[in-house]
């Protein structure tokens, strides 16, 4: 099978919402009047973003999920995506499962594949995703104000727990491991919540490198500081068995776990009811875990407000990870 | 240096034409009213699309050029691009030169970097480029009609000559090699010509996999056949020293060379003067090399119309290349 057969068999579908999809030099997108196009690109490399043993259907899901998560963090509605794929060889079983996982998530969000590229090379997945957002309504990292409350969606730290099991530093009961592993391999992007938060949240970011690191982006872009309640964050670890783990490990997972793909966002206290309603409408749990302050820097405290002396490193793709 | 320092130092520039550039979860693009957004993605892998010894400034140029060439083939005006980069390590001299070559071409076309991703991995460059084109005016592969003339811009086959020198199958005088090598490593996308051909050309494609293969895309999409004058195509090889080479090698280079990044397009005979004027306005040579016909298939003939019995393979990234 050659390059064009591969595209034809696994990746070519008629475009239904875009004026032109796969098969020409370019795809054509037509955002509706008054809408801006939100664009994000994420590249996934074997051994760094996923293990070589991962189920290819889950990998197809995750490659798109991490990109949809960026759209969610901007409050954008998914429209379309391109996929560039470097493969060491053509493995039809792999391609069948990968494309199945990819399109299942794409279809769930009405996001169509409009173009891309395939080539031989070390396994590498690069997706660029497109969404629409009303002009001026995108959620940005730069809008947090002192006094705003800090919120997070869903659960924290479960993907990191699975990673620690893979690394052999932790053991979990089989059921808990399977739950954590699914969280790592098949994150659900918070697309509906992101759109529901338009006009309510003052700033937002998606959690990919760990809460402390990603919160740092909001603080830097907004010129503010924050206090985070570590106990409130640790209470959001989804796996019940985690409650019995060492508190320092639980804080690492919840505050610097990485691969959470939840939304971290800020909103004025007066908007708290609207935030809870946005969570309800999008069927997404949301919880308050801290507060934005004028004093620069990040303060991590326990439920009683006492300081926690523990260092947290954000994930950096060019640094070794602890 | 970490991932974010790398982006800050080499790739972060203020967005001037896009509402939001590098530094948030998404970039925001706002195509003008009545315009569609043309989108294309190309991934470049070391050893397959470029040699490890290539000057990184030329590589930066080429990575964007091959994407701009896709916009040109649609008649779109460049707006912005995203860059995803997997690097085996942070090499500051390499990054300085790569980003210099990249931005020189980007600036020449008013195309701004609005986002991307960086990670550690086998060297891999993935660019997604965005352009605008008036709704309904994009040049497509599907519009060729029997009777249309077949045109090509610029020169053919020079990049392939350089490749053959690198492979050791051919020797060229130093000056000719340098000229061919520049054609391979620093192609100039025909962006101005593509826009000038809107409303004139009936179909267009950019030449990346070789003329025969890329023409095949027009023929398949348009449901037509063609006759190509191999002598007229060979006359477009840019390097004067090539005139002395074996005719079969010259035909391979001109008709199936790959990496030309010229535009191949069709237009009705009545539009010939307009095509020549589009070439003049965009300072791009254009030449007629064949004709579209109702009979399916591709016929390659010499200047006297006699058939040429030579097989030409289109470049396929999953097949070995002759």
What is the ipTM metric for this complex?
0.89
Spatial contact of B111 and B79, defined as CB atoms under 8 Å apart: yes
What's the Cα-to-Cα distance from B8 to each of B5, B14, B49, B57, B96, rounded to whole Å? 5, 11, 27, 19, 12
Give A-chain residues touching B42 at CB under 8 angstroms: 84, 117
Give B-chain residues touching A46 at CB under 8 angstroms: 121
Confidence of residue A12 (pLDDT cuts 50, 70, 90): confident
Q: Where are the alpha helices (DSSP H) in chain A?
A: 3-6, 56-74, 92-108, 158-167, 174-185, 191-196, 211-222, 230-234, 247-256, 272-281
How far, in Å, CA of B99 to CA of B93, rounded? Answer: 10
* SS3 sequence of B205-263: EECCCCHHHHHHHHHHHHCCEEEEEHHHHHCCCCCHHHHHCCHHHHHHHHHHCCCCCCE
- Residue B249 has a pLDDT of 94
Nearest CA in chain B to A119: B317
Give the H/E segment covering residue A264.
Answer: strand A263-267
Give the H/E segment covering residue B79.
Answer: strand B77-87
The residue length of chain A stands at: 322
Nearest by Cα to A237 from A131, A117, A152: A152
Tell me the nearest-neighbour CA distance from A34 into chain B, angstroms: 9
> Residue ranges per domain, chain B?
3-134, 141-301
- Residue A271 has a pLDDT of 98
Q: Answer yes or no: is pLDDT of A139 > 50.
A: yes
Give A-chain residues touching B71 at CB under 8 angstroms: 25-26
Q: Which are the contacts of B16, defined by CB distance < 8 A and separation ≥ 6?
A: B112
Nearest CA in chain B to A138: B28
Q: Mark yes or no for CB contact B316/A29 under 8 Å.
A: no
Spatial contact of B227 and B301, defined as CB atoms under 8 Å apart: yes
How many Cβ atoms from other residues are within 10 Å of residue A295's Cβ?
Answer: 10
Mean local confidence (pLDDT), A113-142:
94
Instruction: Give the residue from B24, B35, B213, B217 with the most A CB atoms within 10 Å of its CB, the best one to mutate.
Output: B24
Mean local confidence (pLDDT), A120-139:
94
Rg (CA), chain A: 20
Give the H/E segment covering residue A82.
Answer: strand A77-87
Instruction: Give the residue from B14, B33, B38, B41 with the most A CB atoms within 10 Å of its CB, the best one to mutate.
Output: B41
Q: Answer yes or no: is pLDDT of B314 > 80.
A: no
How far, in Å, CA of B211 to CA of B301, rounded? Answer: 14
How many Cβ atoms from other residues are within 10 Å of residue A233's Cβ?
Answer: 25
What's the Cα-to-Cα distance from A4 to each of A26, B27, B255, rounded to whole Å? 16, 31, 19
CA A20 from chain centre, in angstroms, equals 28
For domain B141-301, the CATH superfamily is PurM-like C-terminal domain (3.90.650.10)
Between A137 and B15, residue with greater pLDDT: A137
Confidence of residue A317 (pLDDT cuts 50, 70, 90): low
How far, in Å, CA of B210 to CA of A252, rounded? Answer: 53
Nearest CA in chain A to B317: A119
B60-103 pLDDT tens trace: 999 999 999 999 999 999 999 999 999 999 999 999 999 999 99
Average pLDDT, chain B: 92
Mean local confidence (pLDDT), A120-146:
95
Give B-chain residues touching A47 at CB under 8 angstroms: 121
Q: Mark yes or no for CB contact B27/A38 under 8 Å.
A: yes
- Residue B19 has a pLDDT of 84
- Residue B315 has a pLDDT of 66
Q: Mark yes or no for CB contact A41/B126 under 8 Å.
A: yes
Spatial contact of A14 and A21, defined as CB atoms under 8 Å apart: yes
What's the Cα-to-Cα distance from B50 to each of A10, A192, B94, B110, rounded to whole Å? 27, 42, 15, 25
Give the H/E segment covering residue B301.
Answer: strand B297-301
Q: Which are the contacts of B201, defined by CB distance < 8 A and separation ≥ 6?
A: B75, B139, B143, B151, B265, B266, B267, B271, B275
Q: Answer yes or no: is pLDDT of A136 > 70.
A: yes
Spatial contact of B211 and B281, defined as CB atoms under 8 Å apart: no
Q: Answer yes or no: is pLDDT of A314 > 80.
A: no
How far, in Å, CA of B269 to CA of B146, rounded? Answer: 11
Q: Mark yes or no for CB contact A19/B36 under 8 Å.
A: yes
Nearest by Cα to A18 from B47, B38, B148: B38
Q: Answer yes or no: is pLDDT of B116 > 60.
A: yes
* Domain A3-134 classification at class level: alpha beta
Q: Mark yes or no for CB contact A38/B19 under 8 Å.
A: no
Spatial contact of B135 and B250, defined as CB atoms under 8 Å apart: no
Spatial contact of A171 and A49, defined as CB atoms under 8 Å apart: no
Per the listing, tokens 């391609």 go with A95
Q: Answer yes or no: is pLDDT of A322 > 60.
A: no
Give B-chain residues touching A52 at CB under 8 angstroms: none
B14-60 pLDDT tens trace: 888 888 888 888 989 888 888 999 999 999 998 888 888 899 999 99
Q: With b meaning 16 or more CB within 10 Å and e meaning fewer, what string describes A74-99?
A: bbbbbbbbbbbbbbeebeeebbebbb
How far, in Å, CA of B189 to CA of B150, rounded? Answer: 19
Q: Mark yes or no for CB contact A141/B25 under 8 Å.
A: yes
- Residue A13 has a pLDDT of 83
How far, in Å, CA of A251 to CA of A248, rounded? Answer: 5
Q: Which of B26, B204, B316 lies at the smallest CB-CB distance from A39?
A: B26
**Least confident segment among A153-157, A275-279, B317-321:** B317-321
Tell me the nearest-neighbour CA distance from A36 into chain B, angstroms: 5
Cβ-based burial of A54 (10 A; exposed 0-12, middle 13-18, buried ≥19): middle
Give A-chain residues touching B86 at CB under 8 angstroms: 43, 45, 124
Q: Which of A28, A49, A135 lies at the smallest CB-CB distance from B37?
A: A28
The residue length of chain B stands at: 322
Tell me the nearest-neighbour CA distance from A206 into chain B, angstroms: 7
Q: With b meaning 16 or more CB within 10 Å and e meaning fewer, what string describes B187-219?
A: bbbbbbbbbbbbebbbbbbbbbbbbbbbbbbbb
Give A-chain residues touching B202 at CB under 8 angstroms: none
Q: DSSP labels for A130-156?
A: EEEEETT----GGG--TT-EEEEES--
């Amino acid at each position: 099978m050659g390059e064009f057969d591969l595209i034809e068999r696994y990746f070519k579908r008629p475009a239904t919402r875009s004026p032109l999809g796969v098969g020409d030099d370019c795809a054509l997108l037509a955002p509706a009047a008054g809408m801006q196009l939100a664009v994000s690109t994420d590249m996934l490399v074997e051994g760094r973003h996923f293990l070589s043993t991962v189920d290819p259907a889950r990998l197809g899901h995750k490659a798109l999920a991490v990109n949809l998560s960026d759209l969610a963090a901007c409050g954008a509605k998914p429209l379309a995506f391109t996929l560039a794929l470097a493969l060491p060889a053509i493995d039809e079983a792999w391609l069948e499962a990968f494309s199945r996982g990819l399109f299942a998530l794409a279809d769930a969000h009405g996001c169509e594949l409009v173009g891309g590229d395939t080539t031989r090379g070390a396994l590498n997945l690069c997706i660029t995703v497109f969404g629409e957002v009303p002009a001026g309504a995108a959620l940005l990292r730069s809008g947090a104000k002192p006094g705003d409350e800090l919120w997070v969606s869903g659960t924290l730290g479960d993907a990191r727990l699975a990673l620690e099991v893979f690394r052999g530093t932790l053991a979990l009961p089989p059921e808990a491991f399977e739950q954590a592993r699914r969280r790592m391999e098949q994150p659900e992007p918070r697309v509906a919540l992101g759109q529901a938060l338009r006009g309510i949240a003052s700033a937002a970011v998606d959690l990919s490198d760990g809460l402390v690191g990603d919160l740092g982006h909001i603080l830097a872009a907004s010129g503010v500081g924050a206090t985070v309640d570590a106990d409130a964050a640790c209470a959001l670890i989804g796996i019940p068995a985690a409650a019995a783990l060492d508190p320092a490990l639980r804080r690492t997972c919840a505050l610097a776990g990485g691969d959470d793909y939840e939304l971290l966002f800020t909103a004025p206290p007066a908007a708290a009811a609207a935030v809870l309603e946005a969570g309800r409408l999008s069927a997404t749990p949301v919880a308050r875990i801290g507060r934005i302050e004028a004093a620069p820097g990040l303060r991590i405290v326990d439920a009683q407000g006492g300081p926690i002396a523990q260092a947290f490193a954000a994930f950096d793709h060019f640094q070794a990870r602890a």
